[in-house]
Amino acid sequence: MSASNPLSVLPTLEADLARVEHLLADSVRSDLEMLAEAAAHLAKAGGKRVRPGFAIASAATSHDVARPADVGVLMGGVAVELVHLGSLYHDDVMDEATTRRGVPAANQHWGNVVAILTGDFLLAQSSIIAADLGTDVSRLLGETIAELTDGQIRELQDTNNFERTAEEYYAAISGKTASLLACSCRIGAITGGLDRPTTDALTEFGHSYGMAFQIVDDILDVVATSEQLGKPAGNDILEGNFTLPVLRALRSENGDQLRSLIEAGLTPETRDQALVMVRTSPGIADALDAARGWADKAAGAISSLPDSPGATALRAASVHLVERARAPLGER
C-alpha cells in the first residue's frame, strides 16, 4: 500500500484525486490577488486528500468494478476538503503555528487577520458547493462545522487540565476530527446515491476511523520527528493540550514527575525531556490499544457490506492506520 494515501488500493483513486486537485484549485480562486494567494497556499502545499478519498471510496462501495467517480461525488469531496483546509488556517492562528505541511503557516506569512479571513473564505466556498449538491449535503456540512467548533472549544477549555479524563478527550476529538471524516463518508454515500442503511454504516465507519485517526496523530506528535510530521513535533504538550498518550502517562508510575516538569513551565528543552518520559511510559502502548479498538470498530461498521472496490479500500485503510503509528516505534 502506498504510504501517501491509505486508500490507494482503489484502482481509480489516483485519477479521481487528480480531478479533485483541479476542482479544488478552481474553488479557491478570487479576483483579489492577496486572497487568491492566501487561499491557495495550503492547497498547493499538498496533503493526502484523505477526506475526498473517503468520499470517493464510500461512493464506490456500490460499484461491482472500479470506475471513475461521478462529478457530484468529487465536488462533495472538494466541499469537505475546503472545510478541513479552512479549519487548518484557524487552528494555526490559535496555536501560533510556524509551519504547516512543510511550508510557513499562513498566519506567519500574512498575519492572523488575513489567515482567519482566508479560513472563513474557504468555509464559504464549501457552503456554495454544498448548496449545489442539495439540502441534505448543505445541512450535513453545516452540522459538521458546528461539531468542529464544539470539539475545538472542548479542547481549549481543557488546556493545562491535569484532571482531564479520557472521556473528555474523546468528546473533543469526536467533534474536531471524527465528525469531518464521518461527514466525508456520508457525503460520498449521499452523492453516490446509496441507500440509507449503507449511508449510516459508512458514516459510523468514518466516525470510528476518525477517532482512531486522531489518536494516531496524537501518538505521532509524541514519537515522530518534525520532519516526519511536516509540523513541529511535541507541540500539543507544549501548548497544554494533554492528549491520550500524555493522559495515560500522567496516570502511570512516573506520572507525578511528568506533571511536576510540565507545571514548572515547559521550554523546548524540557519539552523534549517530557516527551521522552511519555515515550517510555505505558501511555504509548495504551493509546495504541485505544486506536486499534476504534479501527476495529470502523472495520466492523462496514463488515456487512458486499465486497467492492470501495469497501476493500476502506477496510485496508483501517488496518493501515494503526501501522502508521507503530512505524516510528520500529514495530511491525
Per-residue pLDDT tens over the stretch 96-136: 777 787 788 888 888 899 999 999 999 999 999 999 999 99
Cell of 313: 479500500
What are the backbone angles phi and psi of residue 315, rounded to the nearest 5°?
A: -65, -40
CATH number of the domain located at residue range(s) 13-329 in this protein: 1.10.600.10
Residue 331, pLDDT above cutoff 90:
no
Q: What is the pLDDT of residue 330?
A: 54
Residue 1, pLDDT above cutoff 60:
no
Task: Find residue 100's DSSP bridge partners.
Answer: 103
Q: Which residue would you say has higher pLDDT here, 281 or 226?
A: 281
CA contacts within 13 A on the Cβ side of 248:
19
Secondary structure of residue 6 in the 3-state scheme: coil
Best-predicted range by mean pLDDT among 40-44, 209-213, 232-236?
A: 209-213
Query: What ranges do the domains of the chain cover?
Result: 13-329
Kindly indicate the confidence band of residue 323, based on its pLDDT and cuts at 50, 70 and 90. confident
Using the 8-state DSSP alphabet, how is residue 176 labeled?
A: I
Query: From residue 41, how far is each of 78, 89, 152 by CA, in Å?
Result: 16, 10, 23
207-231: average pLDDT: 86
Q: What is the pLDDT of residue 226?
A: 67
251-275: average pLDDT: 92
Rounded percentage of the chain residues whose pLDDT exceeds 70: 94
241-268: average pLDDT: 94
Which residue do the cell numbers 513541529 mark? 232
Q: What is the mean pLDDT of the chain?
A: 91
Q: What is the pLDDT of residue 332?
A: 42
Q: Which residue would you say has higher pLDDT here, 100 or 277?
A: 277
* Lowest-pLDDT choice from 25-39, 85-99, 172-186, 275-289: 85-99
pTM, two decimals, is 0.91
Residue 221, pLDDT above cutoff 70:
yes
185-194: average pLDDT: 97
Residue 25, pLDDT above cutoff 90:
yes
Instruction: Report the distance separating Cα 330 and Cα 55, nearest Å.
Output: 32
Residue 262, pLDDT above cutoff 70:
yes
Q: What is the pLDDT of residue 327?
A: 62
Residue 291, pLDDT above cutoff 90:
yes
What are the backbone angles phi and psi of residue 317, rounded to the nearest 5°?
A: -65, -40
Q: What is the pLDDT of residue 101?
A: 77
Instruction: Report the distance separating Cα 158 and Cα 89, nearest Å.
Output: 21
Per-residue pLDDT tens over the stretch 133-153: 999 999 999 999 999 999 999
Residue 307, pLDDT above cutoff 70:
yes
Q: What is the pLDDT of residue 3?
A: 46
38-45: average pLDDT: 88
Instruction: Report the distance separating Cα 266 and Cα 274, nearest Å.
Output: 8
